[in-house]
């Protein structure tokens, strides 16, 4: 493996961490937008609202971890500044993090296939 290859710089681990956090952020964002917010807005049942407050708390505490993993993945894979911002903001919309995760996997597989063809 080449000394300066993206795989020697920890891209594989960054990719795995980003995938986990992108899926987690997407699920928590879906729960927040389509469960907690509508119930908080339209329900007058404070008992139910109090039972669902954990969704916003978990999302709020884990989103910074998503931001850090997205930033680390983008730095390791040498993404542009604009792409890095898009990957970070993808955690704020319910389905965007899933789309960004799929794009990251596709880019990673392209790098992997190049690596395998270069080593043959």
pLDDT tens digit string along 16-39?
999 999 999 999 999 999 999 999
d(CA 85, CA 89): 6
pLDDT digit string, tens, across residues 72-120: 999 999 999 999 999 999 988 889 999 999 999 999 998 888 777 776 6
Indicate whether 97 belongs to any domain. yes
For the whole prediction, is pTM greater than 0.85? no
Indicate whether 5 belongs to any domain. no
Q: What is the DSSP string of 35-86?
A: IIHHHHHH---HHHHHHTHHHHHHHHHHHHHHHHHHHHHHHHTT--HHHHHH
Domain that holds residue 81: 11-119
**pLDDT at site 114:** 77
What's the structural domain count of the chain? 1
């Amino acid at each position: 493996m080449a000394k300066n290859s993206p795989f020697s710089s920890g891209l594989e681990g960054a990719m795995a961490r980003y995938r986990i956090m992108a899926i987690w952020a997407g699920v928590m964002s879906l729960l927040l937008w389509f469960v907690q917010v509508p119930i908080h807005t339209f329900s007058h049942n404070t008992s139910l609202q109090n039972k669902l407050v954990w969704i916003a708390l978990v999302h709020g505490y884990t989103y910074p971890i998503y931001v850090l993993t997205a930033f680390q993945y983008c730095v390791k894979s040498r993404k542009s500044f604009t792409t890095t911002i898009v990957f970070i903001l993808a955690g704020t919309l319910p389905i965007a993090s899933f789309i960004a995760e799929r794009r990251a996997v596709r880019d990673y597989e392209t790098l992997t296939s190049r690596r395998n063809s270069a080593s043959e």
